[in-house]
Amino acid sequence: MLTVSVISAEATVFEGQANSVVAPAFDGEVGILTGHAPMITALGQGTLRVEQSGDTLRFSVAGGFLQVVDNQVRVVTERASINR
């Protein structure tokens, strides 16, 4: 399991567990699964998908970065909003 938090400049948009995360990196999508090596990558603009067992949450993000360390995924972006 991954612990994911999506943090925008104004508030923490999401915090919770997920099986995998697919994020729009600066040069294309990047997928994160459990056990990923520590990584920091710059983000571009697009849709962030947080896959939980059963359903997928989608967020619009723009800029910022994604950090993975010890199964903790932090998506830090200037603007983030959840798409329903």
Residues engaged in binding other proteins (CB under 8 A): 5, 7-12, 25-27, 30, 37-42, 63-65, 67, 69, 74, 76, 78-79
The torsion defined by the Cα of 7, 81, 20 and 76, in degrees rounded to 10, comes to: -30
Contact predicate 80/59, CB 8 Å: yes
Of 12 and 56, the one with the shorter C-beta distance to other proteins is 12
Q: In angstroms, give the least distance from the CB of 82 to other proteins.
A: 15
Q: In angstroms, give the least distance from the CB of 68 to other proteins.
A: 9
* Strand partners of residue 30: 23
